[in-house]
Amino acid sequence: MTFLIVCLFPVSWGAQSSRQADAERDIQAAKQAQEKGDYAQAVADYQTALKLMPDSPELHNNLGIAYYYRKEYEKAIEAFRQALKRNPDLRGANLCLGMGYIRTSQFEQTMKPLEKAISFNPKLRQAYINLSGSYVEVGKDEEALQILQRAEKIFPDDVEVLYSLGSLH
């Protein structure tokens, strides 16, 4: 019995290495396509890589970014949600998910991911502005004001933050 288990491991590792190598090729092709602005090809390459590595939060995130640039926001949202399902602390995915919700006018949905993105990186100026705008869209002006006041403390001379704050007043 022990011999059988030991013999199976190299096959498993070899298959894993081959799958990972194939996925890496697809990932590199996707990155090259993105650099060229060919997001349709990037989507196809990330989808191929995901067939080999379906539990990779980073691959789901990258697929979401490619969809986002193609303006396929619903598909981007789903990819970001899949990334966060696998790793809730994946930093960029929270911001991107929030932005996808904004693009689809799902303003109630933006709050949680944008707040989480800000908690990971308090220097995300655009996250504060978008979060505030989402609160305004759902009629929560006081919350929007609080968000912009937080942003003003971090970015005291930022024109967009100050303008947003002034507009809200």
CATH assignment at residue 39: 1.25.40.10
Residue 79 in any domain: the answer is yes
pLDDT by residue for the chain (169 residues), tens digit each? 333 333 333 333 444 577 788 888 999 999 999 999 999 999 999 999 999 999 999 999 999 999 999 999 999 999 999 999 999 989 899 999 999 999 999 999 999 999 999 999 999 999 999 999 999 999 999 999 999 999 999 999 999 999 999 998 7
CA distance 68 to 96: 8
* Residue 54 belongs to domain spanning: 2-88
Residue 101 in any domain: the answer is no
**Rg (alpha carbons) of the chain, rounded to whole number:** 20
Q: Global pTM?
A: 0.84
Residue 10 in any domain: the answer is yes
Residue 42 in any domain: the answer is yes
Residue 55 in any domain: the answer is yes
